[in-house]
């Protein structure tokens, strides 16, 4: 008998194959028991990459065997997150739902209420709280290195002038497509994680590229209850990419240009149990200080496996 938490992973696209499966497999105490994907090509890939896991083409195989799993991870298109989370809870299983947790707040509250009624674990997968720059900034905040933070800037910008299609860029009702639901969820969650509850929100959502069906350029301004202001950007049409984060305080500023490298490592087939995972060379460290009097500050290793 194993004491590992037996995980059923539903979905083996980008999220399932590159973010969830390798992290689950590399985390002590977790066992990737079942992978669900309707695609024959993805089933073949899953079987090759995780030979110890059962690979099936229907989600019914998971819900029909609740005793065979302890946790269900939902890594499917956004429009299915709520229905699959509710089905997993109805089967008596704990659930992790990839972002966005739900297309609407009303649907999110419904899922949360159902988990509470059944006394089951439920979580949204916001692994980017363990991005290197977020962990480093939390350390600097704890040390008081910035003084009182006045403004936090964070961005995920790319140059993709031609829409790629697919459900992430679909405007289907209830599909939760577009950048705000995609990268914007990470930006907002990191700001909340770092600086707490929000009192006011302002947002700009635009369709900049010809043929875009959903927002491909976004800006969100949050005024936190603490008084900190967070300015958050995501764009598919950024010809020049700005710094990943910039935090301005009464004592100093912290600026980091390069993004966390864990996504690139996962896409390259690496796993979080490799030695040195998440570490960054000094050339990628951020700068701390005022004006020209800045010094590199050691980056905390990124650690998605800590989720």
Structure tokens at 107: 């649907």
The residue among 15, 51, 60, 13 whose CA lies nearest residue 32 is 51
- In angstroms, the CA 22 to CA 6 distance is 14
More confident residue, 113 or 65: 113
Q: CA–CA distance from 208 to each of 77, 215, 236 (Å)?
A: 23, 8, 9
Burial of 13 (0-12, 13-18, 19+ CB in 10 A): middle
Q: What is the dihedral of CA 299, 300, 305, 307, to 10 degrees?
A: -110
Residue % of the chain over a pLDDT of 70: 99
* 246 has a pLDDT exceeding 90: yes
Q: How many CB atoms lie within 10 A of CB 113?
A: 10
User: What structural domains does the chain harbor?
Assistant: 5-125 (3.40.50.720), 128-306 (3.30.360.10)
Mean pLDDT of all residues belonging to the chain: 95
* 245 has a pLDDT exceeding 70: yes
User: Would the pTM count as exceeding 0.75?
Assistant: yes
* 1 has a pLDDT exceeding 80: no
Task: Note the pLDDT of residue 173.
Answer: 82
pLDDT in tens, 154-212: 999 999 999 988 888 888 888 898 999 999 999 999 999 999 999 999 999 999 999 89
């Amino acid at each position: 008998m194993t004491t590992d938490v037996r995980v059923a992973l539903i979905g083996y696209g980008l999220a399932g194959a590159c973010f969830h499966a390798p992290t689950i497999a590399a985390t002590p105490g977790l066992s990737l028991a079942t992978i669900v994907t309707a695609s024959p090509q993805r089933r073949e890939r899953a079987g090759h990459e995780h030979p110890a896991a059962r690979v099936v083409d229907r989600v019914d195989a998971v819900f029909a065997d609740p005793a065979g799993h302890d946790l269900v991870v939902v890594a499917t298109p956004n429009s299915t997150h709520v229905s699959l989370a509710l089905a997993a809870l109805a089967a008596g299983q704990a659930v992790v739902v990839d972002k966005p947790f739900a297309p609407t707040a009303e649907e999110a509250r419904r899922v949360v209420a159902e988990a509470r009624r059944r006394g089951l674990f439920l979580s949204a997968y916001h692994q980017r709280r363990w991005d290197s720059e977020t962990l480093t900034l939390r350390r600097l905040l704890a040390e008081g290195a910035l003084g009182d933070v006045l403004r936090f800037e964070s961005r995920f910008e790319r140059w993709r002038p031609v829409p790629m299609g697919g459900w992430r860029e679909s405007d289907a009702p209830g599909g939760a497509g577009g950048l705000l639901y995609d990268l914007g969820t990470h930006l907002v969650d990191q700001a909340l994680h770092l600086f707490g509850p929000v009192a006011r929100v302002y947002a700009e959502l635009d369709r900049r590229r010809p043929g875009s069906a959903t927002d491909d350029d976004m800006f969100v301004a949050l005024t936190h209850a603490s008084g900190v202001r967070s300015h958050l950007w995501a764009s598919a049409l950024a010809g020049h990419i700005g710094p990943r984060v910039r935090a301005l305080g009464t004592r100093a500023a912290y600026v980091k240009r390069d993004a966390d490298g864990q996504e690139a490592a996962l896409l390259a087939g690496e796993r979080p149990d490799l030695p040195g995972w998440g570490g960054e060379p000094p050339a990628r460290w951020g700068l701390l200080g005022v004006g020209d009097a800045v010094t590199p500050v050691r980056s905390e290793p990124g650690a998605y496996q800590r989720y």
